[in-house]
Structure 1
Amino acid sequence: MKSFVPHGLRRLDNIRGDIYGGLTAAVVALPLAIAFGVASGAGPVAGLYGAIFVGLFAALFGGTPSQVSGPTGPMTVVMTGILVQFTAADPVNGAAMAFTVVMMGGFFLILLGVFGLGRYISLVPHPVISGFMSGIGVIIILLQIGPLLGHKATGSPLESLRMLPEMIKDINPYSISLGFFTIIIVYLLPSRINRIIPAPLLALFAGTAALLLFLPEGSVTTIGEIPSSIPMPDMPVFSLRMFPNMVKSALILALLGSIDSLLTSLVADNITRTHHDSNRELIGQGIGNIVAGLFGGLPGAGATMRTVVNIRAGGKTPISGALHALVLLSVVLGAGKYAKYIPHVVLTGILIKVGTDIIDWSFFRRLHRTPRTAVLLMFTVLFITVFVDLITSVAVGLVAASLLLVQRMADLQLKSIQAITEPGDESPLCEEAMSILRAAKGRILLYHLSGPLSFGAAKDMAQRLNMIDDYEVMILDMSNVPTIDFTTSVSIEDMIRGAQAEGHHVLLSGAQPVVRDILARRGVFELLGKENDFHRRLHAIRKAANLSGIEVGEASK
């Protein structure tokens, strides 16, 4: 248990920077937490509770000292769908089941960390992550179309697009005016002012003031009062009928939370020149999400913008992340009653900025220099993310990326295969071996394999051999093959059987221990016979010369 004692509580050498970083991160997090809560359908307090509990426990138990966690755009998009799904299926207990899913997602995150799977998240190809995140950004923007025009938010991007003509016919001028006022602030606020007061917070205050001072009462909707008390925990609620969907939704949250958090951890590493602990970070995020779900808070993950703000303000240890959560808690307890004046459309403007920030613009700017397969993969994942669902997009992206990788590796493996009957200067043979092959005049085929061989190249490897039949003895040379997979072993067995069936002698040379073990399980050595298995290639070539009745002099004996 000692390894999970928060490091930040044992480090006080940066306390001043951590205090300033935590306060600054809290200022940035406040409007975002409220906006995410409203956007999710769970209410502003759910966003604040998520920022408080995920932020506190992920800081204390996570593996990235300077990281600030809380509700994020991607996690909010998923949570919105979860709330809609479960409240539609069970209006009475649906919301409770949705927050149970948040707890389950936290549990799965802990499992990912405990079993050391954090490092595998970094193996997700960049085009998949880019398309996934950009798709989430597009979803956030599309879902804000209704509120910006003065209508209720729709449940899906497709519905937003379908309802757009009707919404345009009935635009609320006060709503769209206040919305664009907010958008102008969050996009165009000069950086020197943004360093003093973050654009989202200024937009929140300015938009609320504009409503109270200049707009007619009731012209736009507001978020209502936030409870100013410490919440009571709610026990998990399960449904046997809905349990498979709960598990699926929890896995989506865990997968997205791990990607979101560990990408932010990499950003923090680049700025601070440190190295995070991926598995510990997942455990910390899991604990935070379990507690957040227990108290009715939104799921969260490492938040890139809040983390960068924290680091630039001086935050270096978990104290800053924990302080940011405590500051938000004090705001809820002391100023929750004033939140009722905040207009929905102001939060809409803030979320539109969040959506555009999530889109991977750097990928789009480099499209003309990016391989076509990567571009196609990115847009495929983006389209499926927006118009199908998140888990399908990641699954399709990973499968497609894996197939592309297998194809590229297979091409490289096939290029390394040499069918040698007349050795040239580039052949990997000693002088004696080359003299024997030259004397054989095509009767000895050295089928030289090189590098690790996998299922992608297995079929073509066998087909190449089938195209050669004018030889008497084949030497299957595996001297430079460190490993093979099961499919390759099957292909090698088929090659041997096929050659023997055609009346050819088959010898094997240079198989390394790992390769020998796999071939032995297939019974390849019984098929060959012990007398045809050689550890050295030259010995196999000498045996081939004897089988072909070749006299090559003393050097080839």
Structure 2
Amino acid sequence: MRNDIFGGITAAVVALPLALAFGVASGMGPLAGLYGAIFVGFFAALLGGTPSQVSGPTGPMTVVTAGIAAHFPQQPECVFAVVILAGLLQILMGMLGLGQYIRLVPLSVTSGFMTGIGCIIICTQSLSLLGLSPAPSAWAALQRLPSALSNANAQAVGLGLASLAVALLTPKRVTKIVPSSLLALLLGTAASFALGLSVPVLGPIPLGNFRPSIPSITYSVLPQIGGLAITLAILGAIDSLLTSLVADSLTASFHDSDRELVGQGVGNAVAGLFGGVAGAGATMRTVVNIRAGGRTPISGALHSVVLLAVVLGLGRFAQSIPLCVLAAILLKCGLDIIDVGYLRRVPRLPRSSVLVMGVVIALTVFWDLIVAVAAGCILSSLHFTKTMAEIELDACTITSSKNIKDSSPLPSLSGLWPAELEIVRASREQVAVAKLRGVIAFNAANGLVRKLLPMVESHDLLIIDLSDVLSVDDTGALSLAQLCNQAEEMGKRVYICGANRKIMRMFTRLSVIAAGKGRLSPATPRLQSLHACLADSTPTPLPPSSYA
């Protein structure tokens, strides 16, 4: 209990400046950031599936929320409606068991996504560091940057850079006692008071009344709210479960993905009802909590209680915090989010992974976050499918009677057993045996036909041995049937043998066995197939008990 209390208090100290900064960056105000940290952090801790995780506003969620706020500039109730609906969708995702699929996102996609988020935060907050209003997007910030440099507030720039230096350069022995972000917040605010600087400040923070309110919206905006809520829900799920994986690695435990989605969904739905921004599992605060000793949901819930006490008692002291100081804290967060470790390995990574990461970064920064993740997953899946097809085709070995001389010894590389080799030698026909392995699926089916068709054209008989094939999908089965039909049109013979029960059921269901003239049962062993085919007779199919 003592370690959980210490971890929760430490996480709250780290979360305070970040919640204020993320609230401002989202466009909904600092109080909305604090409410998001309070409600998402509390309910995700109690109901989630990662005991040591601390949740609240994060960089990715803030970037999306800022885009939603820009989409509804005069309608904050629509923004909170999106947050509520996103939470409900996350609950539904957890109940449907979709959490396990989020973990299948490739590292190149997650790395590019996080790096893109970091770039967005750096671009948008660079204007606040100059003493100007932040831009709604990275592209807008880059467009405004030339004129912003000429109109910068020199005092804000100096104070912001000094705060950034504190956040970046504070020694680790000091950050173990006071987090660098909190130190930058305190020193930057104190310097602004002491020097009497004229810089934009946070302003009055209304305390609110802590009463839930269902947003009042019109039917005309429902389609827009639905699409934005899906984006926010998927992003929050990815962000939270990635943090859960980090927590697993630090605590040598395993989280419950579906339960975590339910907890995050409840937290976001409640946060939206109370006027808070959306949140997710926060990697930095989770790591701080774990290193401070937090291991149970008590630490995450206590972190929210401490922030609630801050809102109730210390809100009036936060109104004089300079915005350039908060921008410096966010810039530090943006730099931390960038996956430097993965970027350093780019020269040694496969070109396909580098391409996927580059596409994800570009789409994240300049287009849409969910489109970026979807495009990265699709590209990775296509590359994986192509690689598996090449492996399946390489596993196909073909033995031809043209390469077997009467005087040669029985070669081990021929792919035939001694008894089979003798049958082939005794025959006057040109025979080829194709030994397939693994899985015959849609990705390799066309390539397999292309590889085997020349053997059909140059031989009298082709035996296709499936004894080492685990499964055949519908595309693979129909492709083999097509190969047999092409052989019949050329006056050649193709026989399939050695199939297991699962493959036999697929062949039977698709009528592959019935197609073609004189074809053997796929369940017939290869030796019997060779003997029967070269004797120009069709044997009786073996019973299922003889498959082995």
TM range (shorter): over 0.9
Matched residue SS, 1:426: helix
Question: How far, CA to CA, are the matches of 2:460 and 2:173 in structure 1?
Answer: 81
Which residue of structure 1 aligns with residue 501 of structure 2?
A: 513
Q: Is 2:17 the counterpart of 1:31?
A: yes
Counterpart in 2 of 1:417? 396
The question of 1:527 aligning with 2:527 is answered: no
Query: 1:259 & 1:508 partners in 2: Cα distance?
Result: 46
Per-residue CA deviations over 1:178-202 (Å, capped at 9, x if unaligned) read 1001101100111111111111111
Q: What per-residue deviation string (whole Å, max 9, x for no partner) do you get for residues 110-133 of structure 1?
A: 122112221111111100110011
Between 304-313 and 434-443, the greater mean CA deviation after superposition: 434-443
In the alignment, does 2:14 pair up with 1:19?
no
1:503 CA drift (Å)? 1.2
Q: Which residue of 2 aligns with 1:210?
A: 191
Structure 1 window deviating more from structure 2 (233-242 vs 53-62): it is 233-242
Residues 69-148 of structure 1: matches in 2 within 5 Å? 69-87=55-73, 91=74, 94-148=75-129
CA distance in 2, matches of 1:397, 1:327: 39
Partner of 2:290: 311
- Choose the corresponding residue for 1:452, options 439, 442, 461: 439
- From 54, 70, 76, give the equivalent of 2:40: 54
- Name the amino acid aligned to 2:498: G
**Aligned match for 2:258, one of 267, 279, 293:** 279
Q: Which residue of 1 aligns with 2:353?
A: 374
Give the Å deviation of 1:235.
0.7
User: Which is further off, 533-542 or 309-318?
Assistant: 533-542
TM-score (norm 1): 0.92
Say yes or no: does 1:485 pair with 2:473.
yes
Q: CA deviation at 1:530?
A: 8.0
- Flag structure 1 segments of 5+ consecutive residues without an equivalent: 1-14, 550-557
Structure 2 counterpart of 1:179, one-letter code: G
Of the candidates 299, 307, 316, which is equivalent to residue 278 of structure 2? 299
Structure 1 residues 274, 213: closer, same or farther in 2, change over 3 A? same
- 2:419 is aligned to 432
CA offset digits 1:86-138 (Å, max 9, x no partner): 33xxx3xx321111111111112112211222111111110011001100000
**Alpha-carbon distance between aligned partners in 1 of 2:414 and 2:95, rounded to the nearest angstrom:** 50
Deviations 1:204-237 (A, max 9, x none): 1111111111034xx2111112223442212144
8 Å Cα contact 2:55-2:300 kept in structure 1: yes
* Residue of 452, 473, 481 corresponding to 1:465: 452
Tell me, yes or no, if the aligned pair for 1:443 and 1:472 is still in contact at 8 Å. yes
Are 1:472 and 1:548, in contact at CA under 8 Å, matched by a contact in 2? no
| 2:144 alignment partner in structure 1 | 163
- Structure-2 residue corresponding to 1:7: none
Cα distance between partner residues in 1 of 2:271 and 2:224: 20
TM-score, scaled relative to structure 2: 0.93
Opposite residue 499 of structure 1, the aligned amino acid is: A
CA contact (8 A) 2:243 2:282 kept: yes
Once the 2 structures are TM-superposed, how far is the Cα of residue 442 of structure 1 from its aligned partner? 5.5
Q: Which moved more, 1:468-477 or 1:422-431?
A: 422-431
Residues 25-67 of structure 1: CA deviation (Å, up to 9, x unaligned): 0000000000000000000001000000000000000111111
Residue 463 of structure 2, aligned match among 455, 462, 475 = 475
CA distance in 2, matches of 1:16, 1:303: 22
Contact 2:392/2:438 (CA < 8 Å) preserved in 1? yes
Residue 364 (structure 2) aligns with: 385
State whether structure 2 residue 184 is matched by structure 1 residue 195.
no
Identity of aligned residues (%): 47
The correspondence of residues 492-507 of structure 1 with structure 2, limited to 5 A, is: 492-507=480-495
Aligned residues of 1:228 and 1:334 also touching (Cα < 8 A): no
State how far apart, in whole Å, the 2-side matches of 1:357 and 1:441 are. Answer: 72
> Where does the alignment leave 5 or more consecutive residues of structure 2 unmatched?
405-410, 539-548
C-alpha separation between the residues in 1 aligned to 2:28 and 2:512?
Answer: 63
Distance 1:47 1:532, change over 3 A: same
Contact 2:45–2:298 (8 Å) recurs in 1: yes
Secondary structure of 1:523's aligned partner = coil
Letter paired with 2:37: A
* Cα 1:239–1:512 shift into 2, 3 Å: farther
* Whole-angstrom distance in 2 between the partners of 1:530 and 1:546: 13
Secondary structure of the structure 2 residue equivalent to 1:220: coil
Q: Distance in 1 between matches of 2:264 and 2:388?
A: 36
AA partner of residue 520 (structure 1): T
**1-structure distance, mates of 2:215, 2:474:** 45
What's 1:537 paired with?
526
- How many residues end up aligned between the 2 structures? 528
Does residue 68 of the first structure (1) align with residue 46 of the second (2)? no
- Checking the alignment, whether the CA contact within 8 Å between 1:221 and 1:344 is kept in structure 2 is yes
Name whichever of 484-493 and 256-265 sits farther off. 484-493
Structure 2 Cα separation of the partners of residues 442 and 126 of structure 1:
53
From the superposition, tell whether residues 110 and 426 of structure 1 become closer, same or farther in structure 2 (CA, over 3 Å). farther
Cα deviation for residue 482 of structure 1 reads: 1.0
CA contact (8 A) 2:399 2:416 kept: no
Q: Residues 432 and 295 from structure 1, CA distance in 2 versus in 1: closer, same or farther, beyond 3 angstroms?
A: same
The alpha carbon displacement at 1:428 in A equals 4.1
How many angstroms does 1:82 deviate by?
1.0
The one-letter amino acid paired with 1:484 is V
| Matched AA of 1:16 | R
Match 1:252 to one of 199, 216, 231:
231
Q: CA RMSD, aligned part only?
A: 1.7
Residue 432 to residue 369, structure 1, CA distance change in 2 (3 Å): same
Counterparts of 2:163 and 2:517 in 1: how far apart (Å)? 80
Distance 2:269 2:518 in 1: 61
Cα offset, 1:78, TM superposition:
0.8
C-alpha distance after superposition, 1:437-486 (max 9, x if no partner): 23336522222221112212111111122223122222222111111222
Match of 2:299 in 1: 320
Which is further off, 161-170 or 229-238?
Answer: 229-238
> Would you say 1:43 and 2:32 are equivalent positions?
no
Q: Which moved more, 1:527-536 or 1:163-172?
A: 527-536
